[in-house]
C-alpha cells in the first residue's frame, strides 16, 4: 500500500479524534535475540489497554514499535486507518498525532516549562507563538502546574517533571497516548499525582496504551489487560479477570509475586 492510497493522520479518513490501534503478527529481533514473537492485539478507540509482565518480556519494545521508534521486522500496525508499517507511510506526520511519555522525562533542560510545551507546537504543527502558549498554559493547568510555567526542569521534582511531559504531549492534540512505565522513576509520594492525571485522561475518552507495574491502576482504569512474557501474549482480557482471576499459570505466578511482594517463595526451577 502506498501513501497515495493510505489515509494520512489528520485527514477525514485517517486519524480523527480518539484512534484505535491494531497490531497483527508483530516480530522484532535484535540480532539473534527475538524480543517480540508474533504479537497481535487491539486497542479500541477511547479504550485503555495496560501491558503488564516481567522485565524483559517485550512490553516497552512493543510500545516503541507502535510509533516506529523501533522498527519491527514483520507484522502490521494500524492507528485509525493509517498503516504505520507501510514502507512509504509518512511516519513523521503520524507521530504528530501520537503522544508518548517515557520512564525518563526527556524535557529540554535549557528551556522553561512553558517553552518545553510550545516548541514542538511551533516547529512541527506550525502554530503561532501566542496560540501555542495558550494551549500549553491550558494543559499545564490541566496537570496542576500552571504556576510552574516559567520554571526550568531542574527546579521541579520528578513527579512535576513527568506531569510537564504529559502536558507537553497533550499540547500536540494527540489521538493516541503511549505511556512507557511513566511512574517507575518517581518517588512513591508523587506516583499518585501522575496516575490521577492518567485516570482523568481515561475518563475523557483518550485512547491509551500503557506499560505499567501499577496493578491497582490497571485493575481500576484499564478496559483490557495484556500479560506478556518471553515476547508473547500469555493472557489478555478484562482487567478484573486477568488481575483478579488469571487463568494461565504463568500469569498467576507473576501476579502472586507482584501483589504479595513480602511473600517469600523458592525460585522457580
Band (185; pLDDT cuts 50, 70, 90): confident
Q: Are residues 73 and 54 in the same domain?
A: yes
Query: What average pLDDT does the segment 93-115 reach?
Result: 92
pTM: 0.89
Q: Are residues 128 and 223 in the same domain?
A: no
Is the confidence at residue 197, as pLDDT, over 70?
Answer: yes
Residue ending a domain, among 157, 173, 189, is: 173
Q: Are residues 202 and 222 in the same domain?
A: yes
Band (18; pLDDT cuts 50, 70, 90): confident
Tell me which range, 6-20, 93-107, 166-180, 252-266, is most confidently predicted by mean pLDDT: 166-180
Quote the domain boundaries for residue 129. Answer: 108-173
182 is a domain residue: yes
Residue ending a domain, among 173, 197, 213, is: 173
C-alpha span between 93 and 44 (Å, rounded) = 21
The predicted-structure confidence for 45-74, as pLDDT tens digits, reads as follows: 999 999 999 999 999 999 999 999 999 999
Query: What average pLDDT does the segment 247-258 reach?
Result: 95
C-alpha span between 82 and 97 (Å, rounded) = 11
Identify the pLDDT of residue 7: 44
For the chain, the domain total comes to 2
- CATH code where residue 184 lies: 3.40.50.300
24 is a domain residue: no
32 is a domain residue: no
- Lookup: cell for 12: 477525514
> CB count, 10 Å around CB of 68?
17
Q: Are residues 231 and 168 in the same domain?
A: no
C-alpha span between 120 and 135 (Å, rounded) = 12
Query: What average pLDDT does the segment 236-253 reach?
Result: 96
CB 194 within 8 A of CB 125: no
Identify the pLDDT of residue 9: 42
Query: What average pLDDT does the segment 88-92 reach?
Result: 90
pLDDT, the chain, mean: 90
CB 77 within 8 A of CB 23: yes
% helix / strand / coil in the chain, to the nearest 5? Answer: 35, 20, 40
Identify the pLDDT of residue 13: 40
Residue ending a domain, among 152, 173, 194, is: 173
**77 three-state secondary structure:** strand
Backbone φ and ψ of 3, nearest 5°? -65, -15
The predicted-structure confidence for 109-160, as pLDDT tens digits, reads as follows: 999 999 999 999 999 999 999 999 999 999 999 999 999 999 999 999 999 9
Band (11; pLDDT cuts 50, 70, 90): very low
Q: Are residues 69 and 196 in the same domain?
A: yes
Query: What average pLDDT does the segment 216-230 reach?
Result: 96
Which DSSP helix (H) or strand (E) runs through 100?
Answer: strand 98-101
Q: Are residues 244 and 212 in the same domain?
A: yes
Q: Are residues 85 and 217 in the same domain?
A: yes
219 is a domain residue: yes
Tell me which range, 90-94, 102-106, 203-207, is most confidently predicted by mean pLDDT: 203-207
Amino acid at each position: 500500500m502506498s501513501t497515495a492510497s493510505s489515509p494520512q493522520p489528520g485527514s477525514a479518513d485517517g486519524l480523527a479524534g480518539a484512534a484505535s490501534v491494531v497490531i497483527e503478527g508483530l516480530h522484532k529481533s535484535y540480532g539473534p535475540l527475538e524480543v517480540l514473537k508474533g504479537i497481535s492485539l487491539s486497542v479500541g478507540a477511547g479504550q485503555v489497554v495496560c501491558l503488564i509482565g516481567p522485565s524483559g518480556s517485550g512490553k516497552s519494545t512493543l510500545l516503541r514499535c507502535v510509533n516506529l521508534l523501533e522498527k519491527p521486522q514483520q507484522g502490521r500496525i494500524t492507528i485509525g486507518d493509517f498503516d504505520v508499517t507501510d514502507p512509504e507511510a509518512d511516519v513523521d506526520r503520524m507521530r504528530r498525532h501520537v503522544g508518548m511519555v517515557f520512564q525518563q522525562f526527556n524535557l529540554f533542560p535549557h528551556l522553561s516549562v512553558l517553552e518545553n510545551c510550545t516548541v514542538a507546537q511551533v516547529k512541527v504543527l506550525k502554530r503561532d507563538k501566542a496560540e501555542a502558549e495558550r494551549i500549553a498554559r491550558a494543559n499545564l493547568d490541566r496537570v496542576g502546574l500552571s504556576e510552574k510555567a516559567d520554571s526550568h526542569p531542574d527546579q521541579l521534582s520528578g513527579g512535576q517533571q513527568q506531569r510537564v511531559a504529559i502536558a507537553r504531549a497533550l499540547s500536540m492534540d494527540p489521538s493516541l497516548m503511549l505511556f512507557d512505565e511513566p511512574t517507575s522513576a518517581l518517588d512513591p509520594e508523587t506516583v499518585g499525582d501522575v496516575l490521577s492525571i492518567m485516570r482523568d485522561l481515561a475518563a475523557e475518552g483518550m485512547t491509551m496504551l500503557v506499560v505499567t507495574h501499577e496493578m491497582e491502576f490497571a485493575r481500576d482504569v484499564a478496559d483490557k489487560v495484556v500479560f506478556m512474557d518471553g515476547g508473547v501474549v500469555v493472557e489478555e482480557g478484562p482487567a478484573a479477570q486477568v488481575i483478579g482471576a488469571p487463568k494461565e499459570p504463568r500469569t498467576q505466578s507473576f501476579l502472586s509475586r507482584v501483589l504479595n511482594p513480602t511473600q517469600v517463595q523458592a525460585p522457580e526451577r
